[in-house]
A and B are shown apart, each in its own frame.
Chain A
């Protein structure tokens, strides 16, 4: 394999924090089933309770509000199937796990900056019917932060409930579920320095689910199955650290802005998606005119830089980003974008390395075009 010198794909998955790893190694050595009443079981239960409190604290809720799941996808599926709704409205830039969990849902458009159109949401809700609205907190590809609190206020005015997929936002911006006004909120551990295979759906009091996994009474009958003990423990530790590390965000913003500045020096016409909107400080979605995203990703990989094109979900196939197309980009342009997402491990060296490779690629493409 190629040695990766710069990992710039934190939105796909972030490396597990050493503290989380150490806690998981300990948890893996624990013997009990959290449902067992003996000492082994109670020790496992305590570890889960402790993690639940930490995850709850990250988003400002009571521990009972947290339902642990196998990840963001399960949490989103669970949320979208919640009890008592006649119709579902989702923003056009939601993650596939939201869009596919509610295939009949009405899509609310976004503007060119990738921000959901609140007037369109209002109009759609005015049509009536007990509705569930799903608007993500920050988009995974362009990093655009959505006006969730406003969307929730509109939804509540019509008696609708709001689900917020906060998978990408958690650990990157401060989240207060009460202030957001969300009725349900999705989190994923592996996007914030915890392990993959664990996530959570956070519920406001009174929200009733239609549990997808039936069986034991785990998670207060909201999600059956023996708990992913080590994963949940790792999630707790990561959530705790993420909450403390939020203050380091400005440093990442500096790196991201420097990447974009250098790109624009080389190619002033390179589109940077969502730049005019509030964005996650670590994310940049950059188009290279005339060069396919997939080609760029391969070239970066050869240079030891990990970035991504499109979302890293559907097994292997890279299709032009639906998110960018929803923002008004043509299919061709959308296919020329890559996502750079930074994290704890990055520094100025990564910026320089990325910028150099980007310039090199761009110059080569221009020369080829001129030759042709």
Chain B
């Protein structure tokens, strides 16, 4: 066939099996906004504008109705009630609100939180801030596969624990935490369970009822929706209360003030609706792509290591260490293929990923890792091209690597007294 299917994910496919360059393989940093979502949003920018809080004229009514439909769509994908969904500016705000808001509200009775060392920066930074306010925080380690140890979790919870915060899926290594088990433990121990599900919603089935989740952070731009919008699920029964981060007009039942951006809310809703319909088939397809990619790499390159468990993992994530080749240098060598070395939020720093370090990955190896994220608009051709270019870049850079040379000569790199700088 010779037709061109246009998507905006860098995955425009032509009939002759050549992928359109550059190829976007950084789906954990952000996903392209689905064109169907964009189409749903656009009318709300102009033809149908109105402040959804202006209850007393029809422009306002129509906007409010659209926002409420979107709220239902968001609620539906995680099996929540729409009255439990608070729109925010994104998962960072949701996480900040959940952690600081709940801790501060209950501070007279409880002063302890439990989280995990591999959480997203915004969870960890919120926790550190709470420590400055006098709260105690337990940072649980993870096992080699990136998963939290449930016995450790159990023993970390005390009568003073107000909340346990464990992410659904990790942004760097994609591993999925045992949410149902954690939720059960938290419910038994009468402590709130918050999960940062920015990477999980729309990719894996999540159910706030079955998993006993009390608060959940949702991001628009990680599930093919727009940037600048997210949501926080706040359970009504048993009721979770929190102190708002932003006060003002009292929108979102006082949980979050500020004019709701109708187009963004509508976009998030539509993104959730699409994901809910397509998640199953999409996950199957992505797993096939992933296996094909991994097989292609492993067949042609020795000493490539997968970070994090392969099975309990987002279908669109791989995190690989290409020993003896520095990740950033490798990224430059595959310039038509956009991947990341470490989290997008911290890529500007030169520190190796704290997530990989938490798994026990050697710091040397951590420097050689790439996160490869693919999704809805990624094609087989995209991945075949990526494999080809990664393999040749790794070969070229290994030939240039003094560490590879030493390894070939049988010199143990750890035996050398490095100068550092």
- Are A and B close enough to touch in the complex, i.e. CB under 8 Å? yes
- On whether the beta carbons of B348 and A37 are closer than 8 Å, the reply is yes
A300 CA / B59 CA spacing, docked (Å): 13
Within 1-57 of A, Cβ neighbours of B (below 8 Å) are at 1-2, 4, 7, 9, 12-16, 18, 20-21, 24-25, 28-33, 35-41
**Given A228-B228, A315-B53, do A74 and B345 touch, yes or no (CB 8 Å)?**
no
- On whether the beta carbons of A314 and B92 are closer than 8 Å, the reply is no
A24 CA / B49 CA spacing, docked (Å): 15
Within 339-358 of B, Cβ neighbours of A (below 8 Å) are at 339-340, 344-348
- On whether the beta carbons of B45 and A195 are closer than 8 Å, the reply is yes
- On whether the beta carbons of A217 and B348 are closer than 8 Å, the reply is yes
Within 279-325 of A, Cβ neighbours of B (below 8 Å) are at 294, 297-298, 300-301, 306-309, 311-316, 318
- On whether the beta carbons of A212 and B245 are closer than 8 Å, the reply is yes
Interface size, B (range): 35 or more
A129 CA / B214 CA spacing, docked (Å): 42
Within 230-265 of B, Cβ neighbours of A (below 8 Å) are at 245-251, 253, 257-264
A214 CA / B125 CA spacing, docked (Å): 6
A73 CA / B250 CA spacing, docked (Å): 10
Q: How far is the CB of A167 from chain B (nearest CB, A)?
A: 10
A24 CA / B51 CA spacing, docked (Å): 19
A299 CA / B237 CA spacing, docked (Å): 41
- On whether the beta carbons of A196 and B348 are closer than 8 Å, the reply is no
- On whether the beta carbons of B125 and A197 are closer than 8 Å, the reply is no
A218 CA / B289 CA spacing, docked (Å): 33
Please indicate the chain B residues that have their CB under 8 angstroms from the CB of A230 in the complex: 226-228
- On whether the beta carbons of A31 and B10 are closer than 8 Å, the reply is yes
Q: Is B199 an interface residue (CB 8 A)?
A: no
Please indicate the chain A residues that have their CB under 8 angstroms from the CB of B88 in the complex: 70
- On whether the beta carbons of B246 and A315 are closer than 8 Å, the reply is no
- Interface hit among A92-100, A114-122, A349-357, A359-367: A92-100
Please indicate the chain B residues that have their CB under 8 angstroms from the CB of A7 in the complex: 59
Please indicate the chain A residues that have their CB under 8 angstroms from the CB of B38 in the complex: 25, 28-29
Q: Is B29 an interface residue (CB 8 A)?
A: yes
Q: Is B154 an interface residue (CB 8 A)?
A: no
- On whether the beta carbons of A216 and B228 are closer than 8 Å, the reply is no
Q: Is B60 an interface residue (CB 8 A)?
A: yes
Q: Taking CB as reference atom, which chain A residue is nearest B55?
A: A316
Q: Is A111 an interface residue (CB 8 A)?
A: no
Q: Taking CB as reference atom, which chain B residue is nearest A293?
A: B56
Which listed residue (A225, A227, A298) contacts B56, Cβ 8 A? Answer: A298
- On whether the beta carbons of B249 and A314 are closer than 8 Å, the reply is yes
- On whether the beta carbons of A212 and B264 are closer than 8 Å, the reply is no
Please indicate the chain A residues that have their CB under 8 angstroms from the CB of B138 in the complex: none
How would residues 16 to 38 of chain B score, 1 for a CB under 8 Å from any chain A CB and 0 otherwise? 00000010101001101101001
**Given A213-B96, A215-B96, A308-B56, do A228 and B227 touch, yes or no (CB 8 Å)?**
yes
Please indicate the chain B residues that have their CB under 8 angstroms from the CB of A14 in the complex: 49
16 intermolecular pairs with C-beta atoms under 8 Å apart: A1-B58, A4-B58, A21-B42, A31-B24, A36-B340, A41-B29, A97-B249, A101-B246, A101-B247, A197-B264, A215-B92, A218-B345, A224-B96, A226-B92, A228-B89, A313-B257
- On whether the beta carbons of B89 and A74 are closer than 8 Å, the reply is yes
Please indicate the chain B residues that have their CB under 8 angstroms from the CB of A13 in the complex: 49-51, 54, 259
- On whether the beta carbons of B120 and A215 are closer than 8 Å, the reply is yes
How would residues 90 to 128 of chain B score, 1 for a CB under 8 Å from any chain A CB and 0 otherwise? 111101100000000000000000000000111101101
Q: Taking CB as reference atom, which chain A residue is nearest B254?
A: A315
Which listed residue (B24, B42, B262) contacts A40, Cβ 8 A? Answer: B24
A309 CA / B54 CA spacing, docked (Å): 9
Please indicate the chain B residues that have their CB under 8 angstroms from the CB of A274 in the complex: none
Of the listed residues B26, B53, B249, B258, the one surrounded by the most CB atoms of chain A closer than 10 A to its CB is: B258
- On whether the beta carbons of A215 and B331 are closer than 8 Å, the reply is no
**Given A77-B246, A224-B125, do A15 and B259 touch, yes or no (CB 8 Å)?**
no
A12 CA / B49 CA spacing, docked (Å): 11
Please indicate the chain A residues that have their CB under 8 angstroms from the CB of B95 in the complex: 215
Q: Is A181 an interface residue (CB 8 A)?
A: no
Please indicate the chain A residues that have their CB under 8 angstroms from the CB of B309 in the complex: none
Please indicate the chain B residues that have their CB under 8 angstroms from the CB of A197 in the complex: 89, 228-229, 259-261, 263-264
- On whether the beta carbons of B245 and A70 are closer than 8 Å, the reply is no
Q: Is B147 an interface residue (CB 8 A)?
A: no
Q: Is A143 an interface residue (CB 8 A)?
A: no
A336 CA / B246 CA spacing, docked (Å): 30
**SS class of chain A's interface: helix, strand, loop or mixed?**
loop
How would residues 138 to 165 of chain A score, 1 for a CB under 8 Å from any chain B CB and 0 otherwise? 0000000000000000000000000000
Q: Is B8 an interface residue (CB 8 A)?
A: yes
A190 CA / B50 CA spacing, docked (Å): 10
- On whether the beta carbons of B51 and A225 are closer than 8 Å, the reply is no
- On whether the beta carbons of B250 and A225 are closer than 8 Å, the reply is no
Please indicate the chain B residues that have their CB under 8 angstroms from the CB of A195 in the complex: 45, 261, 263-264
- On whether the beta carbons of B122 and A213 are closer than 8 Å, the reply is yes
Q: Is A108 an interface residue (CB 8 A)?
A: no
Q: Is B46 an interface residue (CB 8 A)?
A: yes
Please indicate the chain B residues that have their CB under 8 angstroms from the CB of A171 in the complex: none
- On whether the beta carbons of B32 and A231 are closer than 8 Å, the reply is no
- On whether the beta carbons of B259 and A31 are closer than 8 Å, the reply is no
Q: Taking CB as reference atom, which chain B residue is nearest A212?
A: B245
A-B pairs with lowest CB-CB distance, top 10: A228-B228, A215-B122, A197-B261, A313-B249, A97-B248, A216-B345, A70-B89, A225-B92, A73-B258, A214-B125
- On whether the beta carbons of A38 and B331 are closer than 8 Å, the reply is yes
Q: Taking CB as reference atom, which chain B residue is nearest A228?
A: B228
Please indicate the chain B residues that have their CB under 8 angstroms from the CB of A227 in the complex: 227-228
Q: How far is the CB of B129 from chain A (nearest CB, A)?
A: 6
Q: Taking CB as reference atom, which chain B residue is nearest A317?
A: B55
Q: How far is the CB of A77 from chain B (nearest CB, A)?
A: 5
Q: Taking CB as reference atom, which chain B residue is nearest A198?
A: B228
Please indicate the chain A residues that have their CB under 8 angstroms from the CB of B128 in the complex: 214
Q: Is A134 an interface residue (CB 8 A)?
A: no
Q: Is B185 an interface residue (CB 8 A)?
A: no
- On whether the beta carbons of A31 and B257 are closer than 8 Å, the reply is no
Q: Is A241 an interface residue (CB 8 A)?
A: no
Q: Taking CB as reference atom, which chain B residue is nearest A25?
A: B42
Q: Is A76 an interface residue (CB 8 A)?
A: yes
Q: Taking CB as reference atom, which chain A residue is nearest B42?
A: A25
Q: How far is the CB of A353 from chain B (nearest CB, A)?
A: 14
- On whether the beta carbons of A31 and B8 are closer than 8 Å, the reply is yes
Please indicate the chain B residues that have their CB under 8 angstroms from the CB of A198 in the complex: 228, 261
Q: Is B323 an interface residue (CB 8 A)?
A: no
Please indicate the chain B residues that have their CB under 8 angstroms from the CB of A312 in the complex: 51, 53-55, 60
Q: Taking CB as reference atom, which chain B residue is nearest A20?
A: B45
- On whether the beta carbons of A1 and B61 are closer than 8 Å, the reply is yes
A41 CA / B30 CA spacing, docked (Å): 10
Q: Is A229 an interface residue (CB 8 A)?
A: yes
Q: Is A109 an interface residue (CB 8 A)?
A: no
Which listed residue (B56, B59, B250) contacts A309, Cβ 8 A? Answer: B56
Q: How far is the CB of A142 from chain B (nearest CB, A)?
A: 18
- On whether the beta carbons of A40 and B22 are closer than 8 Å, the reply is yes
Please indicate the chain B residues that have their CB under 8 angstroms from the CB of A190 in the complex: 259, 261
